[in-house]
Structure 1
């Protein structure tokens, strides 16, 4: 015969059941947050190694290959993007704080960040060039707005929108005979007769994203003019580092200072194009405009370090970082054999600790490798309208939001 519980035991049982009911949601959430990563998870050792070498504890991203031991708004923007891709919210917050304090006078909502900070010639440390760089401004605004969405942080979203508004105010100008376009720096330091432009400063997925986020802004027109630019400056399928718009000729022309060379800036145009969503209506034409590297590699020719965009003639051997930038592009154009060849180059050059006795790759090459390799590994992609689609569940040790 089953023994009935005593009143005191009965109360304890009821209290225990009630406590368990209250605790179940918390236990479920904890179990979910500690859910083991899939068996095929990605350790992301390249991001961990990059952060260990280049990101200080205070959030400063350092380029050790410069005499000034500089930090740039570009470096801060890339670091924030990589932290978002890898769900490293603490690192994101540190890099944002350093950027605001040291490059933006304390507030990205009020001031575009200076592009260069480092050791001053007269001694000490500080801003070396107070001008902004529009590509970094767009990447920071994007990282903030998408960080706000993915981490459900209204403060990040608002700050990103404020920074984007500053970029529109200071870095977008209506060029005579063309229309509104993104300048590489504030219009206060840019002037005609030829307006200098940098094709790698205008990733189409970011422009699409801002077009959705700010539908009354200039981004639709900027996007159309960016596509027009790519059609005009790539006669042999190679993008130049710089170009210019001539109001007198009503045409895109060679940059008055850099000429027709495509190299360390232009390599990013293929990277951005390769990562563009396959649902983007301009993707096919953009990849056709940028066909040069794909044709070279398909013919088993080496990728050059420098190329004359008018003739297609190259010189020098592309550094390892270029191979990382090629991965999304070669996959997008369906160059299977060329992709396999570049993948074979990359593993030893990932942004992981260098072998004993060898110097680590330069900061910029590591950035190119991180962008390309993380995308190729499936750690992130861009949606039709430019939204970031990270795969946090595929990371072996995902960082918990702070």
Structure 2
């Protein structure tokens, strides 16, 4: 072996070792802390900033993190709790919210398509990672239910509705663009080759280009789309680029690195120093939050602005469920988790 080839091999092995050392660090520190704070013994993830309710979003996010951290035991616990507490056999989807403080615990049986998508994505990854067809088949079943109950053709687009009920008003539909989980749709298409997933990816990016509101051309958390394809901030919610919409550049950059559609987010965040970036902005009035981004929101900012070195797998001591989740997801996205 030549000296150059020997040096190249040593360098490659060093890079591989460095990556997996970082991954082990993420599991030993961030993931362990995450589980100790938010995972209940029965497998329920609690939203600590929202009276310890649980939802399919939390179960799905955490199932993804379990796969990334090669933690099958925790994955099974998370999945089993969701199946026991939230699964709807009639439609093959999950009720979106569980409130331990109310009776019944599941008062609203509507689904949330982002939570179901996250769970289906995690199950698909789990089937590959642990070579277990149970997970793969469950993912395929959940994907099929999403297509049947949440995907529609509207105004020339393939649209993922936020839930089975309440978002299709015929004359217009309401969408949440943070539910456009592009890397999941890509994974589903790569697995099944069903055109619907490719269409959702293409329609989602096309729709985002029309969700350019206000001075900074940003999407709002919720958007109303008319039958002619025009879009405006949803009438039933604040006109903010906020805690939902902040996930858009994470999913977009994860699936489409370097997409020009990341530009509005970058331009908006460049307006403020990193550590004093407002948590949200009302895109129509220009009013900004009086408080700054949490560590999880900052991690998405760093991911979007190619500042991956600033994203830590170590959680801040008192950070809540949502911020901690976004921080760990951004770390894994930036390391191609």
TM-score, shorter chain, exceeding 0.5: yes
What range describes the TM-score normalised by the shorter chain of this pair?
Answer: 0.7 to 0.9
- In the alignment, what sits opposite 1:240? 220
Equivalent residue number for residue 9 of structure 2: none
Once the two structures are overlaid, the 10-residue window that deviates more, 45-54 or 250-259, is 250-259
| Counterpart for residue 184 of structure 1 | 162
Relative contact order, CA 8 A, sep 6+: which one is greater? Answer: 1
| Length-normalised TM-score, structure 2 | 0.84
User: What CA distance in whole angstroms lies between the structure 1 residues aligned with 2:275 and 2:50?
Assistant: 31
Q: For residue 224 of structure 1, report the CA deviation from its aligned partner.
A: 1.9
Q: Check the 8 A contact 2:112/2:162 in 1, yes or no.
A: yes
Match runs of 1:2-401 below 5 Å = 42-44=24-26, 45-67=29-51, 69-105=52-88, 111-121=92-102, 123=103, 126-175=105-154, 177-187=155-165, 190-235=168-213, 236-247=216-227, 249-276=228-255, 278=257, 283-297=258-272, 302-310=276-284, 314-316=288-290, 317-331=292-306, 343=310, 350-351=314-315, 354=317, 360-376=318-334, 378=335, 381=336, 390=337
Q: Secondary structure at the match of 1:129?
A: coil
Q: How many residues align?
A: 315
The separation in 1 between residues aligned to 2:264 and 2:301, in whole angstroms, is: 15
Shift of 1:188: 6.7
Change (3 A) 1:52 1:301: closer
Query: Judging changes above 3 Å, is the alpha-carbon distance between structure 1 residues 367 and 42 closer, same or farther for their aligned structure 2 residues?
Result: same
> Is the 2:281–2:287 contact (alpha carbons within 8 Å) kept by the matching residues of 1?
yes
Provide TM-score, normalisation by structure 1.
Answer: 0.71
Please state how far the C-alpha of 1:48 moved relative to its aligned partner.
0.5
Q: CA deviation at 1:218?
A: 1.7
Change (3 A) 1:65 1:289: closer
**Taking structure 1 as reference, are residues 217 and 162 closer, same or farther at Cα in structure 2, changes over 3 Å only?**
farther
Deviation of residue 259 (structure 1)? 4.6
- Residue 40 of structure 1: CA displacement? 6.2
How far did 1:244 drift? 1.4
1:151 to partner: Cα distance: 0.9
- 5+ residue gaps, structure 2, are 1-16
CA contact 1:237–1:288 (8 Å) conserved in 2? no
Q: 5+ unaligned residues in a row in structure 1: which ranges?
A: 1-34, 355-359, 382-389, 391-402
Cα gap change, 1:253/1:39 in structure 2, threshold over 3 Å: closer, same or farther? closer
Q: Distance in 1 between matches of 2:303 and 2:274?
A: 18
Q: CA deviation at 1:157?
A: 0.3
Taking a change above 3 Å as real, the CA distance of residues 42 and 312 of structure 1, as seen in their structure-2 partners, is farther
Q: Relative to 1, partners in 2 of residues 1:229 and 1:291: Cα closer, same or farther, differing over 3 Å?
A: farther
SS of 1:181's equivalent in the other structure is strand
Query: Is the CA contact (8 Å cut-off) linking 1:173 and 1:187 kept in structure 2?
Result: no
Structure 1, residues 192-236: CA drift from partner, whole Å, max 9, x if none?
322111111112222222222333342222222211111111252
Q: In 2, Cα distance between the equivalents of 1:128 and 1:88?
A: 31
Contact 1:184 1:197 in 2 (8 A): yes
